[in-house]
Structure 1
Amino acid sequence: MTPYEALYERKCRSPLCWDDKSDEVMLGPKMILEMVEQVQLRKYVSMSDSTHRLEPENVKIDQQFSYVELPKEILDRKVKKTRNGETVLVKVLWFNHNVEEATWEAKTAIKEKYLHLFI
């Protein structure tokens, strides 16, 4: 029994036919084109520049296939009032991330680990 069957008590029915060999179906070009249309895979085209290409970012990965997030800069600061007092938050921009993905972190925690951002 597959994990899907154990969890949902029925066989998996997907367009790729991931079930018993008895239900095996040959995927023809027509069926593949229909699946691509359903998934809405489109070629990337920049609105402003048609020659623009997206290049993959170089991320240093260690032997366990992980990497360390490092802060690039502090974008903003704010004070959050709580019942017990005030907490200073900083908006941190991380390497390999866009400005939209910046996160609010406690200033004390960031200052302990990354003092060079505050000098």
Structure 2
Amino acid sequence: MAPYEALYGRRCRSPIGWFEPTEVEFLGPNSVHEEIEKVNLITQRLKTAQSRQKSYTDMRHRELEFSVSDKVFLKVSPMNGVMRFGKKGKLSLRFIGPYEIVRKIGTVAYKLKLSSDMAMVHPVFHVSMLRLYKPDPSHVLNHEEIEINEGLTYEEKPVQNLDRQVRRLRPKDVASVKVLWRNHNTEEAT
């Protein structure tokens, strides 16, 4: 039966559903039995779909729980064409941090101690947005002090010649040297 008919117990009398009152079918024991079978079939299919969805969820679901003072990475969603944390598009970061957990709020929310540049972001996040930071000694970067002049500049000094090439341009030879500079790594050599 139509939804209107199921709700109000009579057929809709709009111009789309005109009918003659003499055409009303009488309900008999067979039609009631058929309707009960249809309702049972619908509930059975709904239970099947629900159990299928539950099994998919159970396979992918993992119980996450963090304690106060743990360090976690925060998930950020990449958006095309938006500059985030110095990178744009597909190269933008998926996780930022690590940030320290200040307090547990409820069962699935945590308050983080964010840096000052993220002061406009609300510090409470759902557990699905967090990933545990496992400290690794190789993550620690040894940095050297840079002597800065009065004009907030510093002097670049060459450390080593990494490579040398000689190219022939018509009548003369041009030498190119790849130099490693102080306070830079090998990828930044010019």
The TM-score, its normalising length taken from structure 1, stands at 0.46
For the pair shown, which has the larger CA radius of gyration, 1 or 2? 2
The TM-score, its normalising length taken from structure 2, stands at 0.30
